[in-house]
């Protein structure tokens, strides 16, 4: 099959396996050049096929020799379509990890469902000796079916209270354009919290605790973003910001739960802005990212997912002693 780029509204709709091989290999090569560290041994990553979840997986496997199990919503190729980017990335990661003798398993399906949680628990029992010591929750999704009610929720990236207009850049043409988004309705705010908030993370931890497959001292981790004043109206003060407040609150609930049951902990890691599928279509964000990357490069500070996730493990989570956090426990 010849794969030709399909791009709509600045979003690439298909992927090429050769590109994903290079992307994953670059991450592996970066970690191999860093100092090895004593870290997690059995890692379950919900959303481990792309972005921050994939980088966490690469850092844990190639930096600390961890066994990794990833849950992701990805599809293999069919007669007419190429596979999704995350499928190519996950399969390539598996070949490289296995070549180093690192156990790797990929489960493809809807992480929000009870069925996939049960499948993951069965895999943990079979391959991890029944114990996970790091659960990473790195989902980014536009839609979630609540497993208890069957109701489908769709998240939106919108401001709250007033419309928002700003300059943006079209990533394909490089032209500056004026963009505008109308404010979210109450229903849209609630739906975004349902999809991108912490409810499903809590369900994951509860399911694993109930099945007795978290080890003594187990850590769970989810990712958040704060950002500058420039993106505040559409990000931290917008619908996604409400979902992030919710997941940050879930971290506090889970931290108490894991502490009291296993002497474990839950944390939020606030990560840097990077290009994702959604960010390309929010006004101001592509322009902000373009300026941010250039400025950080000039200052020698620019990092991708992999550098941040390596630092998260070596400078924070597995540095020894108490984990440094801000006043909010992030
Ligand atoms: P991404 O789109 O690169 O990856 C999302 C992952 O979620 C993929 O593995 C995908 O397969 C998986 N996924 C989505 N829906 C699923 C489903 N129903 N079932 C199973 N898997 C599913 O996302 P990302 O940018 O790495 O974001 C991960 C987390 O990091 C999010 O919480 C995000 O808010 C946060 N974060 C992102 C940025 C950024 O700029 N990208 C910055 C800070 C924090």
Distance 124 CA to ligand 1 centre (A): 22
Q: What is the pTM of this model?
A: 0.96
For residue 329, pLDDT over 90 is answered with no
Yes or no: say if 52 and 76 are a contact pair by the CB < 8 Å rule.
Answer: no
In the annotation, is 235 catalytic? yes
- The 10s digit of each residue's pLDDT in 268-309 is 999 999 876 666 667 788 889 889 999 999 999 999 999 999
CA distances 90 to 25, 30, 45, 96, Å, are 12, 17, 12, 10
Question: How much of the chain, in percent, has pLDDT values that exceed 90?
Answer: 83
Reported as a pLDDT band with limits 50, 70 and 90, residue 100 is very high
Beta-carbon contacts of 27 under 8 Å, excluding residues fewer than 6 positions away, are: 54, 55, 58, 305, 306
Distance CA 93, CA 12 (A): 22
Q: Is there an atom of ligand 1 within 6 Å of 137 CB?
A: no
Concatenated DSSP letters for 245-277?
HHHHHHHHHHHHHHHHHHS-EEEEEEPPP---T
Both structure tokens of 141: 């999704």
Q: Is there an atom of ligand 1 within 6 Å of 52 CB?
A: yes
Both structure tokens of 57: 């997986």
What pLDDT score was predicted for residue 265?
Answer: 97
Distance CA 41, CA 39 (A): 7
CA distances 152 to 109, 113, 142, Å, are 16, 12, 11
Yes or no: say if 97 and 104 are a contact pair by the CB < 8 Å rule.
Answer: yes
Yes or no: say if 296 and 302 are a contact pair by the CB < 8 Å rule.
Answer: yes
Q: Is there an atom of ligand 1 within 6 Å of 74 CB?
A: yes
The angle at the Cα of 122, spanning 71 to 195, to the nearest 5 degrees, equals 35
Distance 1 CA to ligand 1 centre (A): 28
Number of residues written out for the chain = 330
CA distances 77 to 2, 16, 73, 83, Å, are 12, 11, 14, 4
Q: Atom 42 in ligand 1: which residue has the minimum CA distance? A: 273
For residue 155, pLDDT over 70 is answered with yes
Considering 92, 223, 235, 288, which one is annotated as catalytic?
235
Supply the mean pLDDT for the chain. 94
Q: Atom 12 in ligand 1: which residue has the minimum CA distance? A: 47
Distance 153 CA to ligand 1 centre (A): 17
Distance 52 CA to ligand 1 centre (A): 7
Distance CA 164, CA 157 (A): 11
What pLDDT score was predicted for residue 277?
Answer: 63
How large is the average pLDDT for residues 71-95? 96
Burial class (CB in 10 A: 0-12, 13-18, 19+), 322: exposed
Concatenated DSSP letters for 127-184?
HSTT-EEEEEE----SEEE-TTT--EEE-----SSS-EEEEEE-TTT--EEEEEEPPP
What pLDDT score was predicted for residue 171?
Answer: 73
For residue 57, pLDDT over 70 is answered with yes
């Amino acid at each position: 099959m010849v794969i030709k780029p399909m791009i709509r509204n600045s979003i690439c709709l298909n992927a090429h396996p050769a590109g994903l091989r290079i992307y994953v290999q670059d991450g592996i090569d970066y970690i191999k050049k860093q100092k090895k560290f004593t870290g997690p041994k059995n890692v379950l990553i919900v959303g481990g096929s792309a972005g921050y979840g994939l980088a966490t997986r690469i850092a844990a496997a190639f930096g600390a020799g961890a066994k990794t199990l990833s849950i992701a919503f990805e599809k293999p190729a069919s007669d007419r379509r190429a596979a999704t980017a995350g499928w190519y990335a996950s399969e390539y990661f598996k070949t490289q990890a296995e070549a180093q003798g690192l156990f790797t398993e990929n489960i493809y399906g809807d992480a929000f469902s009870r069925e996939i949680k049960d499948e993951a628990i069965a895999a943990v029992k079979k391959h991890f000796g029944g114990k996970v010591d790091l659960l990473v929750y790195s989902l980014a999704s536009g839609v979630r079916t609540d497993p208890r009610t069957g109701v489908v929720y769709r998240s939106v990236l919108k401001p709250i209270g007033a419309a928002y207009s700003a300059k943006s850049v079209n990533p394909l043409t490089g032209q500056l354009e004026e963009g505008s988004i109308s404010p979210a309705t109450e229903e849209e705010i609630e739906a975004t919290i349902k999809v991108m908030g912490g409810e499903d993370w809590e369900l994951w931890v509860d399911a694993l605790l109930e099945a007795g497959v978290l080890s003594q001292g187990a850590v769970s981790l989810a990712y958040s973003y704060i950002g500058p004043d420039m993106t505040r109206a559409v990000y931290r003060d917008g619908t996604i910001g409400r979902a992030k407040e919710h997941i940050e609150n879930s971290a506090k609930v889970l931290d108490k739960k894991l502490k009291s049951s296993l002497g474990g902990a839950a944390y939020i890691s606030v990560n840097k802005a990077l290009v994702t599928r959604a960010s390309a279509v929010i006004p101001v964000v592509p322009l902000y990212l373009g300026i941010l990357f250039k400025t950080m490069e000039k200052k020698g500070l620019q990092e991708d997912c992999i550098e941040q996730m390596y630092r998260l493990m070596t400078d924070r989570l597995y540095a020894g002693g108490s984990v440094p956090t801000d006043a909010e426990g992030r």
